[in-house]
Amino acid sequence: MELRDSVIVVTGGGSGIGAALCHRFADGSPRHVRVVDRDREGAEAVAASLRAGGVDATASALDVTDRSAVEELIGGIIGDLGGIDLFCANAGIGTGAGADADDEVWDQAWQVNVHAHVLAARALLPYWLDRGRGYLLTTASAAGLLTNLGDAPYSVTKHAAVAFAEWLSITYGDRGVSVSCLCPQGVRTPLLFGSLGDGALATEVVKAQRILEPEDVAESVVEALGAGRFLILPHAEVADYELARASDRERWLRAMRRLQASLGSP
């Protein structure tokens, strides 16, 4: 897709990967960037810095799991700006928890990491199908193709996020709706260092990864959107890991158990 003259919405735009996406999209001369985050200050700071760089940008503070707020956001932007060309469902949370996490933790991970994508797609699809054109980028994770040691709700919901993006691409890809799914490993953001739990395993899991900067991820995204590619792997090695998992699941599980044992128990 072309960034020039496009109307772009980025959820989780107030921090980390979302903020880097907003800044990178701004280089492509979009018509408008809407920075969405439940953190009002973060969203407004990113929008203000885009405006300072000469880009038309505004902020919306909302929770992406709030269905009426998401419908109002999408309807409002289409009404005010005449359309949405690219919607990035990027907001996400880690839990740092295992199978014994409280139901509320499991539910919150589902709501933010998966259901928010459903809410956005449900509001956008009728409009995009009618117009014959639209682009949805969802941020999942390499955890959605592999696993995330020490975080069961994150691993499970990110797999579901990948599955939903694939389903959308298969169902609507020939009707003008493009879908890409971003699956990075470690990226230097507050999420990686904040909410993956504070135990020794979380620290070792982080140390075991090749950590990219959010700006590197944003660069990969812009390249993939230009090519209209579904799977975005800023860490290219994830393709090899996924192949190894698919070609011999028992061997992959044994290797992952060894890795977990070497890093410590949850």
Ligand X SMILES: NC(=O)c1ccc[n+]([C@@H]2O[C@H](COP(=O)([O-])OP(=O)(O)OC[C@H]3O[C@@H](n4cnc5c(N)ncnc54)[C@H](O)[C@@H]3O)[C@@H](O)[C@H]2O)c1
Nearest residue (CB) to ligand X, 178 versus 189: 189
Is the separation of the CB atoms in 56 and 154 below 8 Å? no
Q: Taking Cα atoms as reference points, which of 73, 86, 71 lies closest to residue 3?
A: 86
Nearest position to ligand X, beta carbon: 92
Helix (H) or strand (E) holding 217: helix 214-227
Q: Does 186 bind ligand X (CB under 6 A)?
A: yes
Q: Which of residues 111-140 bind ligand X (CB under 6 A)?
A: 112, 139
Per-residue contact string for residues 60-99; x = within reach of ligand X by CB under 6 A: ---xxx------------------------xxxx------
- From the list 121, 227, 234, 127, the residue with the least C-alpha distance to 169 is 121
Nearest residue to 106 via CA among 91, 119, 93: 93
CA dihedral 162, 165, 167, 172 (to 10 degrees): -170
Which string of x and - marks every residue 188-217 that binds ligand X (by CB under 6 A)? -xxxx-------------------------
Contacts (CB under 6 A) with ligand X, residues 10-29: 11-12, 14-18
The answer to whether 154 is a known catalytic residue is yes
| DSSP 8-state code for residue 230 | S
Give catalytic residues, as residue numbers: 154
Applying CB under 6 A, which residues contact ligand X?
A: 11-12, 14-18, 37-39, 42, 63-65, 90-93, 112, 139, 141, 184, 186-187, 189-192
